[in-house]
Chain A
Amino acid sequence: MTPSAPIVEAREVSKRFGALVAVDRLSFAVPPGEIFGLVGPDGAGKTTTMRMLAGVMRPDGGQIVADGVDVLAHPEQAKRHISYMPQRFGLYEDLTVDENIRFYADLFDVPRDVRETRAAAMLAASDMLPFRKRLAGQLSGGMKQKLGLTCALVHTPKVVLLDEPTTGVDPLSRREFWQILYGLRAEGVALVISTAYLDEAERCDRLALLHGGRMVHCDTPAGLKARMPGAMLEVVSPEPRRARDALAGQPGVRGVLLIGIGLHVHVDAAGRSAGIAAALAAAGVPVSEIAEVAPSIEDLFVALLDNAETPA
């Protein structure tokens, strides 16, 4: 097996719930040592995809391979090398941190000494050592997620699936969380992570943009940015909503996104700033600055999805 051969691969995977197509012929492959991000709005099919990869939900069509094992044909065999962290905290709140870890280690048949070493190292890395005897239900949201990750990783998986792992987690815990993920990447683990935080998406090695169950784009964050046509203008204004209304239908304007200090305006080409300034002045909207900026993942996301929805 060459280093670049994928560890986890989805081929034309589909899932329907009644009339709704949750995942539509989705294909991607993740090699060892890569963090692969699934990004998309609610209902894009992220969680369904994660569940199918984890072998806890059967797709209606397609194939999933994890570490050389066909997940659909041999889910139990595949599960030994997969670690899955569901979106909702799935540990036992009436068990202590140590008891939860021990439970998962035993289910994965992890030798006692290995469990002790790994658990101690991971708990230390996430500042959780003082809480080993605490009931999981009494942990903060961030600590719960770190405990979830510790449990999920106690059996040295080759594939790690994390469904929105940092939702409701404070920034400090999030940083520790990502440190652990980078450590896994260095060990050659293949990671698939879904996230609603687009700043977090920039930390991934590659990103898949999902929309309506389909993959709209898949590339590195830099590659995705390069795909964005036109340019991004940042308009600093105290009245962003009026500004947005004023720019609707202006020539060259493809999309407008409200941000804290004003607007991000997606235009079809560079050199549109003079026209924008004129339009805003005509509408009487106060503007303190207009500058061309590098697009954020969020801009990109909105722009690429707009493109996907309106076939040019």
Chain B
Amino acid sequence: MKLRRIQAIAVKEALQIVRDPRSLMIALLVPLMQMVIFGYGVNLDIRHIPLCVLDHENGQQSRNLVARFAASNYFSLRRAAGSDREVAQALDEGDCGIALVIPADFSQRLNDGGRATVQALLDGTDSNTANIAAGYAKSVVAAFSAAAQLDAVQRRGGTLQTQTPVGVEARVWFNEALESRNFIVPGIVALVMAIVGAQLTSLTIAREWERGTMELLVSTPVQPMELMIGKLLPYFAVGLADAAICLGLAVFWFEVPFHGTVATLLFTSSLFLTVVLCIGYLVSVSIRSQVGASQVALLATMLPTTLLSGFSFPIEQMPAAVQAATFLVSARYYVEILKAVFLKGAGVVELAVPILCLALYAAVVVVLAARAFRKTLD
């Protein structure tokens, strides 16, 4: 390997990048747009579930209960139904996600010290949302019950002796507000970088074939490894700029709490960038048309990263075979690293396992990419 040849290729490639400002703009603007679209689009928090209420009693107590629902962040009162049919209609039409049916004897049963029941009807077509809505509803009702109980005791002149013997003081670490955005956005950074990184290099060899410059290039003494390193270096710089854009947006725009160090981020992002750039290069070597190479690179990075990196679907809940497949998805390690760096402030020591996996991955794709290039026309 000769440094001079690597430098010659890198300078040539950099000149070509700079002379094509439109492509460069796309390379820098696309990640910005993707971050904003995904960042706002992917939101797993469930808030303001539309609520339909059928209050058969319409008394003081029942109105109190409804008021509690309406006051919570989780529900917003959409409809006050007058009949069961109206409730069914609201759920059928998808107008409401949950319906609350309060019986006519609600207050009476409550005041008798007996047990009062309310019915919650849920739209189960989105089972995840239904589950969460049911949970929220239970907690609203529980708070109402506790208050009612207290009220009843006080009215009888009793004192406050009603505390539950064991209480859970839940305190969430690392993502105190339980904002899904805080763990989704680092995953989106990985997704965007995987897509953009592979796109950057997917054209670099195909372009030489299409423009007819490859025939002359292979007739020179340049070695495949020199060609690869020289070609990847300028794109590495562009990729780092993209990483800075994505990570900067995550921290300053989406305000994801950042507890780690920039050095850890730079190191791990460089590793991941190496992997995705090499994947793009590998595709470029294998497919001689620019359009084809770009499509394959997009498919090879976007699908596995979206589905199998754990950025949106938890890996632990996948079937064993699919879980095994996720080990082949480089973004899986980077997503894990990013979440830990952002939310836990993890350093290289804590992240030794995913970093080593990513490094191993990088080593394999570097070798594959370098070997894939053959200096012949046939």
Do B213 and A92 touch (CB < 8 A)? yes
Contacts of B2 in A (CB 8 A): 109
A93 interface hit (Cβ, 8 Å) = yes
B216 contacts A80, C-beta separation under 8 Å: no
**Which of B11, B213, B223 is in CB contact (< 8 Å) with A76?**
B223
Of all chain B residues, the one with the shortest Cβ separation from A90 is B216
Given the interface contacts A86-B212, A90-B215, does A109 sit within 8 Å of B220 by beta carbon?
A: no
One of A98-106, A184-192, A233-241 contacting the partner = A98-106
Tell me if A57 and B376 are in contact (CB < 8 A).
yes
A99-B219 contact, Cβ under 8 Å, with A51-B377, A58-B376, A109-B2? no
B19 within 8 A of A: yes
User: Taking each of A56, A88, A94, which has the highest tally of chain B beta carbons within 10 Å of its own beta carbon?
Assistant: A56
A211 within 8 A of B: no
| Closest beta carbon of chain B to A21's beta carbon, Å | 15
Given contacts A82-B219, A103-B12, A108-B220, A56 and B5 within 8 Å (CB-CB): no
Q: Give the interface size bracket for A toward B.
A: 20 to 34
Whether B378 is near chain A, meaning CB under 8 Å from some CB there, is yes
25 A-B residue pairings within 8 Å (CB atoms): A54-B219, A56-B219, A57-B378, A76-B221, A76-B375, A79-B220, A80-B221, A84-B216, A86-B212, A86-B219, A88-B212, A88-B215, A89-B212, A90-B215, A90-B217, A92-B16, A92-B211, A94-B15, A94-B16, A103-B11, A103-B12, A106-B7, A107-B9, A107-B220, A108-B220
B208 → chain A, closest Cβ, in Å? 9
Pick the residue among B20, B214, B215, B222 that contacts A107 (CB under 8 A). Answer: B222
Distance of A108 Cα from B5 Cα, bound (Å): 8
Chain A's closest residue to B214 (CB) is: A90
Contact A75 B375 (CB under 8 A): yes
Chain A residues near B214: list those with CB within 8 A: 90
- Chain A positions 55 through 70: 1 when the CB is less than 8 Å from some CB of chain B, otherwise 0: 1111000000000000
6 extra A-B contacts, CB within 8 A, seeds A92-B211, A93-B211: A91-B213, A94-B15, A94-B19, A99-B15, A107-B9, A109-B4
Q: List chain B residues, Cβ under 8 A from A92.
A: 12, 16, 211, 213
Alpha-carbon distance between A90 and B215 when the two chains are bound, in angstroms:
7
List, in ascending order, chain A residues with CB within 8 A of B222's CB. 107
Chain B residues 215 to 265 lying within 8 A of chain A, measured CB to CB, are: 215-223
| CB-nearest residue of chain B to A77 | B221
With A79-B219, A90-B216, A109-B4 as contacts: A57 and B377 at CB distance below 8 Å: yes
From 10 to 35 in chain A, residues with beta carbon under 8 angstroms from any chain B beta carbon are: none
Q: Which 8 A-B pairs have the closest CB atoms?
A: A90-B216, A106-B8, A84-B219, A88-B212, A86-B215, A107-B220, A94-B19, A54-B219
Q: What's the Cα separation between A85 and B222 when bound, in Å?
A: 16
Given A55-B219, A57-B377, A90-B213, are A107 and B15 neighbors across the interface (CB < 8 Å)?
no
Render A86-126 as a binary contact track against B, CB cut-off 8 A, 1 for contact. 10111111110001001110111100000000000000000
Within the complex, the shortest CB–CB distance from A111 to chain B, in Å, comes to 10
Assuming the contacts A91-B213, A107-B221, asked whether A56 and B375 have C-beta atoms less than 8 A apart, the reply is yes
Residues of B within 8 A of A91 (CB): 213, 216
Nearest chain A residue, comparing its CB with the CB of B17: A94
| CA gap between A88 and B209 in the complex, in Å | 12
- Please, which residues of chain B bring their CB within 8 A of the CB of A94? 15-16, 19-20
In contact, B211 and A107 (Cβ under 8 angstroms): no
With CB as the reference atom, state the residue of chain A lying closest to B8: A106
Indicate if the CB atoms of B5 and A106 lie closer than 8 Å. yes
A76 CA / B15 CA spacing, docked (Å): 27
Q: How far is the CB of B222 from chain A (nearest CB, A)?
A: 5
Interface contact A107-B8, CB-CB below 8 Å: yes
Q: Which residues of A contact B7 (CB under 8 A)?
A: 106
Query: Contacting A95 at CB < 8 Å: which of B5, B16, B215, B216?
Result: B16
Contacts of B16 in A (CB 8 A): 92, 94-95
How far does the Cβ of A264 sit from chain B's closest Cβ, in whole Å? 37
Q: Across the interface, which residues of B come within 8 angstroms of A102, CB to CB?
A: 8
Q: Which residue of B lies closest to A85 (CB)?
A: B216
B2, B4, B219, most chain A CB atoms within 10 A: B219
On whether the beta carbons of B218 and A56 are closer than 8 Å, the reply is yes
Q: How far is the CA of A92 from the CA of B215 in the complex (A)?
A: 12
Assembly CA distance A109 to B226 (angstroms): 13
> Across the two chains, which residue of chain A brings its CB closest to B12?
A103
Query: B337-378 CB contact bits vs A (8 Å, 1 = yes)?
Result: 000000000000000000000000000000000000001111
Most B-side CB within 10 Å, residue of A84, A90, A109: A90
Nearest B residue to A54, CB-CB: B219
Residues of chain B lying within 8 A (CB to CB) of residue A108: 220-221
